[in-house]
Every structure is written in structure tokens, then in C-alpha cells.
Chains A and B, each alone.
Chain A
Amino acid sequence: MKSKLLTLLAALAVLAGALAGSAARAADEEPQGIKVLRPAAIGDTRIRFVHASPDTGAVDVYVGNDPNARRILANVPFGTVSDYLGIDPATEGRLRVVPTGQPLSAAIINEDRTFADGEDYTVAACVSGGSVAFCEAADQTSAPPAGQARLRLFHFAPDAPAPLDLRNTAAPDPLIIDDAERNVEPTPQNIAAGSYNLAVTNADGSETLATLSDVQLQAGKLYDLFAIGSGATFRLISSVTEPQAQVRFAHAVVGAPEVDVYVDGTAVLEDVPFFAVSDYLAIAPGSRQVSINLAGSSTPIIGPEPVTVAAGRSYTIAARHRQQPVQPRYHLDAGRPHRAARRPGQSAALPPLARHFAAAPARQ
């Protein structure tokens, strides 16, 4: 048990080391006023991995060249669609898939790809000619037209008929997606949001391979269906993504009153107190003008400032002091005495000891 814990902690330390460099970079670039805090470990380019090789056991996925190869997924079983993971397209285009726990030299997929900055990709362990192969697709991040969802059908099933169709069994004209070829990048199809009875069939519709009843497709979302496996392992797996940016706001201006938050001139949050963090709000990707007003006021105290947000990414925008430091700089000293716990609801007034510290001269 102890050795297991040590292993975990060691793994943590390694991971922390790999990430520390990017943290330092983020701290250097410091715009004033609004600061967009995005986890540096999440790059502008994202990939996700699909394990679609039924005769291959669980795998680890690495990006980057030696000695900086980075494991982004561990122990992924057949039939998995991973979340999107950030990579650095400049240095992490090399992609290796190895059986779980094996060294990089045991890679069953070893590809050096060029991934464009800011784009999303699906990469897959697929099957071609009876052995593991590499399949790739560029993923769209634009929204479907209003009231519609977007569908793709990936054909990764080695023994199934090819091409495959996706049909709406309740419709007189059932064809939704025509001729999804095996291991070929699929063509997206927009479809009105609503409930569908879907069937994956061969090209003339005479053979149904899988059905999904009462599929509730929501407007604005991107649905991917993956036909994978052969024989008893044949199945349909899916993913759902939304081409919106997720943005939340943190009011971290010490001593400031409540504020309102505006995006492109529209109030999206009102009466936000210090210290509050909002829920994530879905915002159209692109360059957005963000401003912060005192609650109820029509005049911004911060901004409007342009903030560029991308689909599928999450952002925390913190309102903070424009000038730093606004207060004398104090450092905490080692050996600070213990203080009683402050419980929820208890007065936030400082105990005498804290006043003493706050009044002490600044140590530079």
C-alpha cells in the first residue's frame, strides 16, 4: 500500500514538472484589467482518441518526441471515445499508441502529424487489412444552422459492409447519411433537431447493423456516431460536443462593490459580489467585448476589452486590480501563529492578531 502511494506521488511530481514550464510562461504575459485565465496545460489545439481496434487490448497514448513524450491517456479500452485533450501543435505532433504499461518502443501506432493551431482532431486506432491502423479526421467547431444538429458517421468496423448508411426509419425518405466509407473521414450532415429512430445499414438498406430508438438530437450540438468492432464486438458508440465557448467570471477585486458583467454590450451577470465565481456560460466563439460595470451602472469600470474565446474550450475571466500592487506588499512570514478557524456565517472581522499583521510595515 505504501509503495503504491509513493508511486502515485512520484507520478504526480513528474506530471507537475512537465507542467511547470508553461505556468511560468503564463505569468510573464500579463495584460491589465481583465485577465483571461486558461489552464496552460490545455493548448490551442486539441485531439481526442478513439479506440476502435477490437483485437487490441487497452492502450496508453503519448504525444511529443523523446525525451519529452507526454502520456495524455492511460489504459484506454476498446470502445472508448476520449475527451478532447490539449496539445502543443509545434512540438507534440508525434502520436504513439502503446499497449498499456509498455514502453514507447512497443508502439503499435507511431505517426508524426501536422496539427493546425487552434483546430480539433479525432485520431483513432482503427483496423485496416487485419491489423491496427491510424485514422484521423479534422473536427468542425462551427455551429450548425439554427434549430439543427450536425451528425457524422465514422465507419471503423473492419468486417461490416462498406459503405454504411445512416437512416431515419420513421421517415418516408429515410436516408440521412449516404455512403460512409470505411476508415475515411466522414462528411457531416445537418439535421433538424428532434427525435429520430436511427438505423445504421448497408448501402442499399437491406441489412440493418444497429439501431438507436428515440434519439433526441438537440439543436446546436455536434453528434458523432462510430460503428466499431466485428461480430460480437460490433457496436455503435457516440459523442456529443457543443461548438460554444464556456466562460465563467470571478470577481476578485478586493474591496470592490458588486459588479455587472457585459459581453458584447449585453449584461450576462448582474450583482456579482466579491468573491464570487459564476457558473460557466455558453458564449459564441470569437472575439467578444467584455466589460465590467458597478452593479446598476451603465459605465464600465473595466473594459470593454476584447477577449477571444474558442469553441469547446472553457475560460475563467477574473476581474482584478488594474494596478498591482494596489496595497502595500506584505509577505507571510514563516512561523505565523495558529489562529482559530472561521466557520461559515461567522463574522469576517479580523481577529486582533491579523490587524497587527496588517498594520505591520511592508517587507519588500
Chain B
Amino acid sequence: MRLFHLSPDTSPLLPRANNTALLLTPVSYPSASPYVEVPAGTYTFRAVTNTGAVAFSLPFLELEEGRIYDVFAVDQVARIRGEVRITDTAARVRFVHASPTASDVDVYVDDDRVLAGVQFQAIGDYLTVQPGLRRIRVVPAGANPDAVAAIDTTPTFEAGTFYTVAARNQASTIVASVFTDSAGVAADGRARVRVYHLSNTVQTLTPAGVDVLIAGGATLVDNLTLGNSSSLEVDAGTYDLVVATANGTPVAPLNDVVADARASYDLFAIDTEAEPTVITQRSFGQNIPIYDVILPLLYR
């Protein structure tokens, strides 16, 4: 972590974590301290002036391993506050099993099994993955990945970016789609809806896309094609949504969908063995973007 001093009329500030000074020399306006490595944990962070007064404090600041924390001291001295920005040095990847005839599967990242016995229609949590070229293999549960990998793909993952890896198609023709997920936080009072088209059955229709509509209302997504995703914002609230093929045939009504502010509501159009359907997931927190965490402020 480090401290930026951007409060023009405040004397130099010394950052302290749990009463331990992080630097020997205070930080003057306008400059930034060097980075200081801090063991992961929960700290009370304080910025202390020349006279020993606490300019501001950030209690219960949780520092997680592998992340970079920039504390910005901003505004004039009378209103000085600390704003925290968090930079993620890892990529986040989740896995969706959308292949109706495939058995339960294990998922490997490089040589590590990260998921075991994943069932059809399961939507995983986001996992932390080292950025770079990562080999993703999907195998029948319990199988040796070096012998039988139904999916063997090597995407480039970037730090601070969220991805969804979906296994789709029938077991004999299983393929992976890798989506870069929109993870930015929705505007105030808005919620994010993400739609993923993983249905081969719909693909055989003409037109081959998926629509998402508000029942009796606006079209949110128009003719999304197989292997693609779409992300949009709606006002937070409760909706009756309809997922339909682009020729107008409803696939699934989704009544009383609650779209919470700052959360994401995900719809996956997938195949069952008989017909297309939709599975959904609402997610909090894990989709909050990395640069927009503003901690509650305490004056001391």
C-alpha cells in the first residue's frame, strides 16, 4: 500500500497501520509515498500530521493478499478524508457447465484441479487465477486430464478482469466459450443484467439469436448470437422478463426478477436435452469493480 497526499493545506502526513509507522519520513503535499508491503490482515489505518494529530483514520481496513491499496488524502484540511482504491493483481474466472449430455466434470487450471464434480447447469463462483496464459482443461469427473480432456484451451487472462468460461454443446461436440465479463459497477440506482447465449438449439432456428424483453415493455437484448454475451443496465427494481428466440418464441418467462442496485443479474440461455431453457444467477460483491471501493469515512 501507499499514501498519496493531495490535500493542499495539510501538513505532511505519516501513514500508520495499527500504530506502526509505515514510513520514516512523512509524505508532503503533493506527492505519493513509496509502496510498502504489509502482511494481509485487518488494520486501523491512520494518517498522522507533524504534531501527532490524526488527520483521518480508516478503521477495519481489510488488506487482502496480492492486492495493491492506494490511500488518497484529499480535500482541504478541515474536510480531509482518505479514499481507498484497490488494484487487483489477479484475474477472476468462473465456470459454467452448459453441456446437457456431458457428465459431471472436473476443471483444471494448468495442472491444478480447481473444481471437482461440477454438475450440469452449475454456475461457479469467481475463482482467483494468476494472469497470463492459463491452460483450462475440462474432464469427466475423476478422469486424468493428461489422458482425456474434453476441453483443452489456453486463453490469455488479464489482471483485474473477470471471465466466464462456459462448456457448451452436446458431450460429443463440447466446446468452451470464454467471455470477458462486464464487471463495472452500475450507476447509482441501477442494476446490471448480463445475458449469455449458450444454446445450440436456438442456434438452429432462423433467426438464430436470443432476445430479452421486459414483459409488455422494452427489448433489452436484441438477437444475441451463440457464444456471445451482452451486458446492460436497468433501473433497480422488480421485473417480469421474457427470454425469447429472436423469431419471437418465448423460451422462458422470468417473473419477479429482483435487480438490486450495484448487483448483477445473469441469464444463461442453455440447452437441456429436450429444449432450450434459461438459468439465472444474481451475484453481489464479486462483481464490484476493483477501482471503486470507497470505504465509509470516520473522522477522529
Residues on A lying within 8 angstroms of B by beta carbon are: 8-9, 12-13, 15-17, 19-24, 26-27, 30, 35, 37-42, 83, 212-218, 221, 223, 238-240, 248, 250, 252, 254, 274-275, 277-280, 316, 318, 320-321, 324-336, 338-344, 348, 350, 354-355, 357-358
- Bound: A244/B180 CA distance, A: 20
- Bound: A350/B11 CA distance, A: 20
In the complex where A333-B53, A334-B51 touch, is A240 in contact with B31 (Cβ < 8 A)? no
A277 touches B291 (CB 8 A): yes
B50 touches A331 (CB 8 A): yes
B72 touches A335 (CB 8 A): no
* Cβ-based interface call for B103 (8 A): no
In the complex where A23-B27, A332-B10 touch, is A12 in contact with B38 (Cβ < 8 A)? yes
- Bound: A341/B299 CA distance, A: 6
Lowest 8 CB-CB distances: which A-B pairs, in order? A41-B34, A19-B34, A252-B6, A339-B299, A358-B78, A214-B153, A213-B152, A20-B24
Query: What are 18 sample pairs from A and B whose C-beta atoms fall under 8 A apart?
Result: A12-B20, A12-B37, A13-B21, A17-B24, A20-B25, A23-B25, A213-B153, A215-B133, A239-B132, A240-B133, A327-B76, A331-B49, A332-B55, A338-B299, A341-B299, A342-B297, A343-B296, A354-B79
A-B pairs with CB below 8 Å: how many? 195
Pick the residue among A240, A254, A350 that contacts B8 (CB under 8 A).
Answer: A254
Most buried by B among A26, A252, A321: A252
- Bound: A215/B155 CA distance, A: 6
In the complex where A26-B31, A324-B29 touch, is A316 in contact with B78 (Cβ < 8 A)? no
**Closest B residue by C-beta to A242:** B158
Chain B residue numbers with a CB within 8 Å of A278 are: 291
B297 touches A19 (CB 8 A): no
- Bound: A326/B8 CA distance, A: 7
Pick the residue among A39, A217, A252, A254 that contacts B156 (CB under 8 A).
Answer: A217
Residues on B lying within 8 angstroms of A by beta carbon are: 2, 4, 6-11, 20-25, 27-39, 49-55, 70, 72, 74-79, 83, 85, 87, 89, 131-133, 135, 149, 152-156, 178, 289, 291, 294, 296-300
Chain B residue numbers with a CB within 8 Å of A316 are: 4, 32, 70
A216 touches B156 (CB 8 A): yes
- Bound: A26/B178 CA distance, A: 43
Chain A residue numbers with a CB within 8 Å of B152 are: 213-214
Judged by DSSP, the binding face of B is loop
| A-B contacts besides A39-B34, A254-B7, 6 pairs, CB < 8 Å | A9-B20, A83-B89, A250-B4, A275-B74, A342-B296, A354-B78
Q: How many whole Å from A79's CB to the nearest CB in chain B?
A: 10
B135 touches A212 (CB 8 A): yes
Pick the residue among A8, A16, A39, A320 that contacts B21 (CB under 8 A).
Answer: A16
In the complex where A19-B23, A23-B27, A339-B299 touch, is A277 in contact with B11 (Cβ < 8 A)? no
Chain B residue numbers with a CB within 8 Å of A30 are: 30-31
- Bound: A17/B34 CA distance, A: 11
Chain B residue numbers with a CB within 8 Å of A320 are: 6, 8, 30
Chain A residue numbers with a CB within 8 Å of B50 are: 331
A342 touches B9 (CB 8 A): no
In the complex where A325-B9, A330-B9 touch, is A15 in contact with B37 (Cβ < 8 A)? yes
B75 touches A254 (CB 8 A): yes
- Bound: A38/B70 CA distance, A: 12
- Bound: A326/B297 CA distance, A: 25
In the complex where A39-B32, A40-B34 touch, is A318 in contact with B6 (Cβ < 8 A)? yes
A332 touches B153 (CB 8 A): no
- Bound: A20/B7 CA distance, A: 20
Q: How many whole Å from A17's CB to the nearest CB in chain B?
A: 5
Q: How many whole Å from B68's CB to the nearest CB in chain A?
A: 9
B78 touches A350 (CB 8 A): yes
B32 touches A336 (CB 8 A): no
In the complex where A17-B24, A19-B34, A213-B154 touch, is A335 in contact with B53 (Cβ < 8 A)? yes
B22 touches A16 (CB 8 A): yes
Chain B residue numbers with a CB within 8 Å of A216 are: 153-156, 178
- Bound: A333/B21 CA distance, A: 19
B2 touches A39 (CB 8 A): yes
- Bound: A350/B78 CA distance, A: 8
B31 touches A341 (CB 8 A): no
**Closest A residue by C-beta to B29:** A324
- Bound: A325/B79 CA distance, A: 16
Q: How many whole Å from A209's CB to the nearest CB in chain B?
A: 14
- Bound: A49/B53 CA distance, A: 42
- Bound: A320/B8 CA distance, A: 8
- Bound: A38/B34 CA distance, A: 8
A344 touches B300 (CB 8 A): no
- Bound: A364/B21 CA distance, A: 25
